[in-house]
Amino acid sequence: MLDEYVTRWRLQVDGDPIVTPRARLLPVRLDGLPAMLKVATYPAEVIGNAVLAWWNSDGDDSRSGVARVLLADGAAIVMERAVAPRSLVVYYDEGRFDEAIAVIVATARSLHAPRATPPPQGLVPLERWFADLQAAAERGGAGFRASASAAASLLAEPGERTVLHGDLHHENILDFGPRGWRAIDPKAVEGDRYFDYVHHMFDPDDARVPGLEAILDQVALTARLAGLEPERLRRWLLAWAGLAAVWWLEHGESPEPGLKVAAMLATTFAPDQLA
């Protein structure tokens, strides 16, 4: 699968292949410059590649907010590869939350800016994603019910809809040196722009669940920097925590991190707000 594109595009292999459930990746060089070959193996990832190219489409690279797409053909793209040393993961580990969140907010703002051309076809609305959460709530569980209630109220008033990244956390924004911080790996999703500001506050991969005070501090800071309404952002985080728990359960992983965050956030709302 990778060899075909290496040959066609005259790429120089520059590392070992990376296999994920939805794609095959290979570090390469194109005309001597570091790049990454990505071949999507899942339909949504193919559309995600198209979204990445679309965010590059206006010709103003300084404002695109994403890695530059160098070559593209359906499921396969070659994009520039980040080799600069800074890392938002390290920022978080060092407690530099203000700096990290400022980068995430600036990146989201670039991604949500209007484009001159229509977005790719096939984007999935958030309503379809959150149908999984509603089904889990109907089967039972206080955490799922609280999250589903939050999601239902938000989706009933979908706010400012846009093409979303869908997974804009600190591992999906990389340092491209003089070109600044850029996002990679978008999902094929559209909906309320608030949704792109919740993923960095809770990592369902991490069993270490942050405390409620820390979460609320990040909500407040994110809302202030992005000009968002804190209560709506907190409600979106509650909805996302429940959906993450559903997905982890479906993949045979523990849903506990998501359910713990949902339970904590539910206590910040009056009972009638989550009815």
Q: Active-site residue numbers? A: 167
CA distance 210 to 223: 18
CA distance 44 to 25: 16
How many beta carbons lie within 10 A of that of residue 71, not counting itself? 16
Nearest by Cα to 232 from 244, 220, 241: 220
CA distance 204 to 256: 9
Q: Which tokens sit at 70?
A: 């160098």
Distances (CA, A) of 136 to 139, 147, 158, 243: 5, 10, 21, 9
CA distance 63 to 107: 9
